[in-house]
A and B are shown apart, each in its own frame.
Chain A
């Protein structure tokens, strides 16, 4: 009886998390290089109770330490490119990431709206230096015309000053988002140089969020939430009858 209530509550929790993920996609519909998250559901294989008649799969595993049964998968399909004409706006075509150096180590990003930092390095707008092919930040001279070719080679007034490091992780599913439109790669994930990525100077990659699909999914989340609430009330009604009406002398 009470487990029915709990199941309905966990379904409601899951839809709340799902809505949070969808709302985050919508909030980032104009963030360059943003990759949409898709909420996915997995079924709880075991009952919260001990193994027995409820679980056909054998001994019960403990429940995951998460409030809901929703998990997120990041959609790495490319976003549309927009021409800006700014020499330090770089977009990647094909799979790959720019590498920036954050306080916690190297981070990957596809948001190539770069600038020149106070110390003259090529950096993100929040000040993280962009890592070059030699593993060191790229330093831009104070003047000159910057050109970046499609292999990521940077030249100033025709003289080459270095290349950008562009990597292609072996398993995209293991990347974690960090904020700042950046990803954290686990230390044991190999990051070989990208094979098929090319750099477009003077363009940015827009967010790959599809607002229409996200809105539809949001409506779905709301209605599933409502259905779960109705279920909870149904269980409550059954309980009420069991408590108040069963065994009452007629």
Chain B
């Protein structure tokens, strides 16, 4: 059968995955700390009908060969880690990382997950937790009679309790950083786990050695740009369409050859 049919089908499949990814980006346009995804494609194997530089009879060397490709395939989806916009919330436990780094959270199974979403709360014991109740590391417990909480750009948490006039230091938030954050494994809930591709985390103080600084009272919004995604969506849709045209052409060719004999 005609190769072009199957080649174009791989193109349509690829664009479908592309559109799925774009739809997920758009769905998360208001998700705190969300980082948009991108699909990377590669071409598929080639059939070399005649290699370039083949010597033909008479010593003539053909300068270019014949290679027919078999389409495309998605090879990776990866996160793009550009900074999202900041949104002021005035909430003392809403934190934003200005620059590189992740907050560290303990999951119920004891493993550490990483997040950029800094919308923290206090649980019933006064611990600083995220919306799912995962405890921020290093753990910080805020006393019950706290009047005000202040978190410095270096992550130092201090509180003023009832009847006191001087702030009391409770601890310091540490951040983690990866050599290749694009290789992190997204597990949903705004959380990421390290993989071999991301490398192991290095932890450190906010604002030092390349770690981002912490700002209190702000949230990092999704870095999805609606306009950019729309443009990508149009491009994906048209690429889908152009591949369907190739299928139609191949189909028409088959129909022409079918009508050769009467």
Give A residues with C-beta under 8 Å from B. 12, 15-17, 19-24, 26-32, 34, 37, 40, 61-62, 64-68, 70-73, 84-88, 111, 113, 115-120, 125-126, 140-146, 156-157, 173-181, 186, 211, 214-215, 218-219, 221-222, 225-226, 229, 232-233
Question: Are A26 and B11 in contact, with the CB atoms below 8 A?
Answer: yes
Taking a contact as CB atoms closer than 8 A, the residue among A23, A27, A113 that contacts B40 in the complex is A113
Contacts A28-B72, A31-B42, A86-B182; is A143 near B8 (CB within 8 Å)?
Answer: no
Question: Are B43 and A181 in contact, with the CB atoms below 8 A?
Answer: yes
Question: Are A215 and B38 in contact, with the CB atoms below 8 A?
Answer: no
Instruction: Please provide the 6 A-B residue pairs with the shortest distance between their CB atoms, ordered closest to farther.
Output: A27-B11, A143-B202, A24-B69, A118-B196, A23-B4, A179-B45
Q: Which residue of B lies closest to A8 (CB)?
A: B260
Chain B residues within 8 Å of A175, by CB: 52
Chain B residues within 8 Å of A12, by CB: 257
Chain A residues within 8 Å of B67, by CB: 37, 72, 176-177
Chain B residues within 8 Å of A73, by CB: 64
Report how far A218 CA is from B251 CA in the complex, Å: 12
Answer yes or no: B143 CB below 8 A from chain A CBs: no
Taking a contact as CB atoms closer than 8 A, the residue among A16, A113, A118, A186 that contacts B253 in the complex is A16
Report how far A27 CA is from B249 CA in the complex, Å: 14
Question: Are A19 and B11 in contact, with the CB atoms below 8 A?
Answer: no
Q: Which of B53-61, B107-115, B117-125, B157-165 lies at the binding interface?
A: B53-61
Answer yes or no: B2 CB below 8 A from chain A CBs: yes
Q: Which size class do B's interface residues fall under?
A: 35 or more
Chain B residues within 8 Å of A186, by CB: 53
Question: Are B78 and A115 in contact, with the CB atoms below 8 A?
Answer: yes
Q: Which residue of B lies closest to A156 (CB)?
A: B179
Taking a contact as CB atoms closer than 8 A, the residue among B50, B78, B182, B235 that contacts A64 in the complex is B50
Contacts A24-B71, A71-B62, A116-B183; is A30 near B18 (CB within 8 Å)?
Answer: yes
> Can you add 4 more A-B contacts, CB < 8 Å, to A26-B242, A30-B41, A222-B249?
A20-B2, A22-B246, A27-B7, A229-B259
Taking a contact as CB atoms closer than 8 A, the residue among B72, B200, B235 that contacts A27 in the complex is B72
Report how far A177 CA is from B51 CA in the complex, Å: 10
Answer yes or no: B189 CB below 8 A from chain A CBs: no
Contacts A173-B64, A226-B256; is A86 near B78 (CB within 8 Å)?
Answer: yes
Could you list 5 examples of A-B contacts with CB < 8 Å? A12-B257, A23-B71, A30-B15, A87-B180, A116-B179
Q: Which residue of B lies closest to A60 (CB)?
A: B57
Contacts A30-B15, A222-B249, A232-B260; is A146 near B69 (CB within 8 Å)?
Answer: no
Chain B residues within 8 Å of A120, by CB: 196, 199
Report how far A143 CA is from B100 CA in the complex, Å: 12
Question: Are A142 and B66 in contact, with the CB atoms below 8 A?
Answer: no
Q: Would you give the 0/1 interface string for B190-216, flagging 1 where the beta carbon is closer than 8 Å to chain A?
A: 000000111111100000011000000
Chain A residues within 8 Å of B66, by CB: 17, 66, 68, 70-72
Taking a contact as CB atoms closer than 8 A, the residue among B40, B43, B235 that contacts A125 in the complex is B40
Question: Are A177 and B246 in contact, with the CB atoms below 8 A?
Answer: no
Report how far A19 CA is from B245 CA in the complex, Å: 11
Report how far A68 CA is from B67 CA in the complex, Å: 12
CB distance from B160 to the nearest CB of A (A): 36
Answer yes or no: B227 CB below 8 A from chain A CBs: no
